[in-house]
């Protein structure tokens, strides 16, 4: 749903599907030269997964790729995720309009979308 909403809003989307490893996500992001990685986690492994992706991106010289996340993320973890480098966390119930607006204002250079 989120990937489709981004596409419908005019963004180019590369969707990898469910259950990707941090390595697979980072490899695809670097190969596709993306501006943003959107992660969704419902397993409780968000602290490891999100920070591992950020670590691997930095190791590959791609630390400028913005990371956003969503899913079942306890509010008390949000500050630590942001400190680690996650740009924004969108909790359940956040409207797609708000997510797309945030992306346009905070990630996408003017005139790209």
What digits encode the pLDDT tens for the residues 30-47?
999 999 999 999 999 999
In the chain, what are the domain boundaries? 15-95
Per CATH, the homologous superfamily of domain 15-95 is: Cobalamin-binding domain (3.40.50.280)
The DSSP code sequence of 6-35 is HHHTT-------SS--HHHHHHHHHHHT-S
CB-count burial class (<10 Å; 0-12, 13-18, 19+) for 6? buried
User: What is d(CA 100, CA 106) in angstroms, rounded to the nearest whole number?
Assistant: 10
Within 13 Å and on the Cβ side, how many CA atoms surround 109?
Answer: 5
User: What is d(CA 11, CA 33) in angstroms, rounded to the nearest whole number?
Assistant: 14
What digits encode the pLDDT tens for the residues 34-82?
999 999 999 999 999 999 999 999 999 999 999 999 999 999 999 999 9
């Amino acid at each position: 749903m989120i990937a489709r909403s981004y596409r419908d809003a005019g963004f180019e989307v590369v969707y990898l599907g469910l259950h990707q490893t941090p390595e697979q996500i980072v490899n695809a992001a670097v190969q596709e030269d993306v501006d943003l990685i959107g992660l969704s986690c419902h397993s409780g492994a968000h602290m490891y997964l999100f920070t591992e992706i950020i670590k691997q991106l930095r190791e590959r010289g791609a630390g400028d790729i913005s990371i956003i996340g969503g899913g079942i993320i306890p509010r008390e973890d949000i500050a630590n995720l942001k400190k680690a480098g996650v740009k924004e966390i969108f909790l359940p119930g956040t409207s797609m309009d708000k997510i797309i607006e945030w992306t346009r204002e905070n990630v996408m250079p003017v005139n790209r979308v």
